[in-house]
Amino acid sequence: MRVGVLERYREWLPVDERTPPVSLLEGSTPLVPSRNIGPALGLERLYFKCEGLNPTGSFKDRGMVVAVAKAMEEGARVLVCASTGNTSASAAAYAASQRLRAIVVVPAGEIAMNKLSQALMYGAKVVALRGNFDEALRTVRELAAHYPVALVNSVNPYRLEGQKTAAFEIVDALGDAPDYLVLPVGNAGNITAYWKGFREYHQAGRCRVLPRMVGAQAEGAAPIVQGRVVEQPRTVASAIRIGNPASWEGATTARDQSGGLIDAVTDTEILQAQVLLASSEGLFAEPASCAPLALLVRLARQGRIDAQSTTVVVLTGNGLKDPDAALGNVEPPVELDGDARALAKALKL
C-alpha cells in the first residue's frame, strides 16, 4: 500500500509518537529511465526523478509534510512562507488538510499563475509583496521572529529533513547512489537536503557510492556561480529567480565535498531542454526543472560525463505549473473547419 514520507522513512526522520501523522501520500515518485536523451548524449544510464508527480506537483511536499507535522506538534496554528510559487502551493495544501491557516507571501507579478491558483484554491491568504523573493523571505523571517506563526521555508530544518528522502528513494530504486545527481539550485535547500540524505545512507552502509552533486542556476539568477548576491535576479524560470539563497553554504559544501559543480545555463538553453525533454521522453517539467538537463547536455557534449556512469536528473516541478513559459517554443495549433478532407489536406496525408 502506498504511504507518505513520514511513514515510509520514519526511522530516518525526527518524528515520534507525538508527531501528528500528516500525509497527502507524497514521495515515492517514479525514477524513469531515459529512452532517448541518454542514448543521444552517449550516456548509458540516465534517469529522471519525477518530483512533479507529488500531490501539489513539486518536490516541496516532501519537506512540507515534515515541517507541518512538527509545527503542529509544537502547537502552531498558523503557517507562513515566502515563495516563488511551489512552496506556497505546498504549504497551502497541507494547511488545508490539517485545518491550519496558511499565509503565503509571493513577489508581486513574479510567480506562475497556476501556482498562485493552487494557493488560492487551497484557501491560503495570499499576499503579493512588491519586491522580489529575497525581500519576501526577509519579511516573513522577521514576521516569524516577532509573531506566533510557524515559518515553513527551507530555513526551517524540518523541510530539509523531509526533502532528503528523495535521495533515499533513488538509492532504494537503483541499489546504490548514482555517480551524478543533477538538480536546479534556487534557494539551495534541495541540494543541501539531497547531500544530507546521501551521506546518511552512505554512513549507514545503504550505498557505496556518493554522487557528485551538480547544480544548475539560471544565468540571470546565479549568485552561487558568481560568488555574489544578485540584487535583481532575472530568468524565465520563475521558481529559481532568487538572488540571495538562504542555504548558500549548504550548496557550496555539497558541491565541494562531493567533487561536483554548480554552473549557470541561459534561458534559451533551459527552454530548449524543456522542449527536448517533453518531446523526446514524454516528460513535461517546468522551466526551473529543465535547467539541470540543459547543464547535463552541455557537460555531456563537452565529454565531461563518463559514458558508463549513472546519472539522475531531478525534475523538481510539473510542466503544467507554468505552461505560458513553455508555449513560446512550440507550434500553435492549426485552426480548421471540421471536415476530414480539409484535415487530411492540412496534414499532408
In terms of CB distance, is 6 or 160 closer to ligand AN7? 160
Ramachandran bin of 331, using left for φ above 0, alpha for ψ from -120 to 50, beta for the remaining angles: beta
Q: Is 80 in the site for ligand AN7 (CB under 6 A)?
A: no
Q: Is 317 in the site for ligand AN7 (CB under 6 A)?
A: yes
- At residue 19, the 3 state secondary structure works out as coil
- At residue 139, the 3 state secondary structure works out as helix
In the complex, what is the shortest distance from the CB of residue 59 to ligand AN7, in angstroms, rounded to a whole number? 7
Q: Is 265 in the site for ligand AN7 (CB under 6 A)?
A: no
In terms of CB distance, is 190 or 311 closer to ligand AN7? 190
Q: Is 187 in the site for ligand AN7 (CB under 6 A)?
A: yes
In the complex, what is the shortest distance from the CB of residue 140 to ligand AN7, in angstroms, rounded to a whole number? 11
DSSP track, 223-264:
HHHHTS--SS---S-GGG--SS-TTHHHHHHHHHHHT-EEEE
In the complex, what is the shortest distance from the CB of residue 264 to ligand AN7, in angstroms, rounded to a whole number? 14
Q: How far apart are CA 197 and CA 3, in angstroms?
A: 19
In terms of CB distance, is 136 or 177 closer to ligand AN7? 136
Give the 3-state secondary structure percentages of the chain, helix then strand then coil, rounded to 5: 45, 15, 40
Q: Is 244 in the site for ligand AN7 (CB under 6 A)?
A: no
**Quick one: cell of 237?**
524560470
Q: Is 140 in the site for ligand AN7 (CB under 6 A)?
A: no
Q: Can you name the residues that pair with 102 across neighbouring β-strands?
A: 79
CB atoms within 10 A of CB 206: 16
Q: Which residue is nearest to ligand AN7 (CB)?
A: 317
**Quick one: cell of 303?**
565529454
Q: Is 185 in the site for ligand AN7 (CB under 6 A)?
A: yes
Q: Mask of contacts with ligand AN7, 44-73, x by CB under 6 A?
A: --------------x-x-------------
Q: Is 83 in the site for ligand AN7 (CB under 6 A)?
A: yes
In the complex, what is the shortest distance from the CB of residue 278 to ligand AN7, in angstroms, rounded to a whole number? 15
- Find the binding residues for ligand AN7 in span 147-166 (CB under 6 A): 154
By CB neighbour count within 10 A (0-12 exposed, 13-18 middle, 19+ buried), where does 158 fall? buried
In the complex, what is the shortest distance from the CB of residue 285 to ligand AN7, in angstroms, rounded to a whole number? 8
Grid cell 507535522 in the structure block, residue: 69
Q: Which of 5, 125, 102 is nearest to 63 (CA)?
A: 5
In terms of CB distance, is 233 or 317 closer to ligand AN7? 317
Q: Is 86 in the site for ligand AN7 (CB under 6 A)?
A: yes
Q: Is 188 in the site for ligand AN7 (CB under 6 A)?
A: yes
User: How many residues touch ligand AN7 (CB under 6 A)?
Assistant: 22
Q: β-pairing, 125-129 with 31-33?
A: unpaired
In terms of CB distance, is 20 or 30 closer to ligand AN7? 30
Q: Mask of contacts with ligand AN7, 325-344, x by CB under 6 A?
A: --------------------
Q: Which of 329, 322, 341, 314 is nearest to 60 (CA)?
A: 314
Q: Is 27 in the site for ligand AN7 (CB under 6 A)?
A: no
In terms of CB distance, is 38 or 184 closer to ligand AN7? 184
- Outline where DSSP puts E strands in the chain: 31-33, 45-50, 78-82, 101-107, 125-129, 150-151, 180-184, 212-218, 261-265, 310-315
Q: Is 236 in the site for ligand AN7 (CB under 6 A)?
A: no
Residue numbers at the binding site for ligand AN7 (CB under 6 A) = 58, 60, 83-87, 154, 184-190, 239-240, 286, 288-289, 316-317
